[in-house]
């Protein structure tokens, strides 16, 4: 699933490169710009950057599904559908924003302060970043992102990749981040 999302995202980014800029960012474009800025600052390789963007987008999508009567999340997260009166743009935007923030902080922990700043620019309270209350948009976003990130760290969808800790090229040499590293040699008995 994540691989298909990553391919679709790559195609969208290629089209957007040649498309005229929109007059107003959507919430997805806002978080894409935040993520791409941080990916550039950390010097992530393209394959890793694409995978991080796919994780963030899966988290944002899964948060949004709580407000859609038909959509099914890409990762099981235990979040129940919200009642129709809560299906507002404001709730969807808030849930998506908290999901994006949680995913990015997990993927780029050394950039937490800057990512939090992006969330506060939208008018959200940082006290809600720890919420697990799935009756609130912030809690829905946090739980959706946690489910996606946990699944990706286990990496059951992609046996060709392992999650490894690498130094984060930030000011603090003691900062570390998780990277996906392609496994070159595979067990010959493993089914493909």
Domain ranges of the chain: 2-16+25-182
pLDDT above 60 for 163: no
- State in words which class domain 2-16+25-182 has: mainly alpha
Among 13-27, 47-61, 77-91, 107-121, which is the least confidently predicted range?
A: 13-27
pLDDT above 90 for 94: yes
186/118: higher pLDDT:
118
User: Per residue in 19-41, pLDDT tens?
Assistant: 334 334 699 999 999 999 888 88
pLDDT above 70 for 58: yes
Residue carrying structure tokens 């050394």: 110
How would residue 51 be classed by pLDDT, with cut points 50, 70 and 90? confident
CB 118 within 8 A of CB 34: yes
Q: What does the mean pLDDT of the chain come to?
A: 76
pLDDT above 60 for 155: no
Residues 6+ apart with CB under 8 A from 145: 59, 62, 63, 98, 99, 100, 101, 102, 103, 106
How would residue 87 be classed by pLDDT, with cut points 50, 70 and 90? very high
How would residue 84 be classed by pLDDT, with cut points 50, 70 and 90? very high
Tell me, what's the pLDDT at 161?
41
Residues 6+ apart with CB under 8 A from 139: 98, 128, 131, 132, 133
């Amino acid at each position: 699933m994540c691989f298909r999302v990553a391919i679709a995202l790559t195609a969208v980014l290629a089209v957007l490169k040649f498309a005229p800029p929109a007059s107003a960012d959507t919430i997805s474009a806002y978080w894409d710009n935040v993520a791409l800025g941080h990916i550039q600052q950390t010097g992530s390789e393209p394959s890793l950057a694409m995978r991080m963007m796919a994780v963030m987008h899966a988290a944002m999508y899964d948060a949004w599904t709580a407000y859609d009567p038909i959509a099914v999340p890409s990762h099981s997260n235990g979040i129940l559908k919200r009642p129709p009166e809560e299906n507002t743009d404001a709730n969807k935007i808030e849930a998506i924003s908290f999901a994006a923030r949680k995913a990015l902080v997990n993927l780029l922990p050394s950039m937490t302060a800057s990512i939090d700043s992006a969330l506060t620019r939208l008018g959200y309270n940082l006290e809600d970043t720890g919420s697990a209350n799935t009756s609130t948009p912030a809690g829905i976003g946090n739980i959706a992102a946690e489910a996606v990130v946990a699944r990706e760290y286990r990496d059951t969808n992609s046996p060709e990749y392992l999650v490894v800790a690498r130094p984060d090229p930030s000011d603090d040499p003691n900062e570390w981040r998780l990277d996906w590293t392609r496994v070159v040699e595979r067990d010959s008995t493993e089914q493909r």
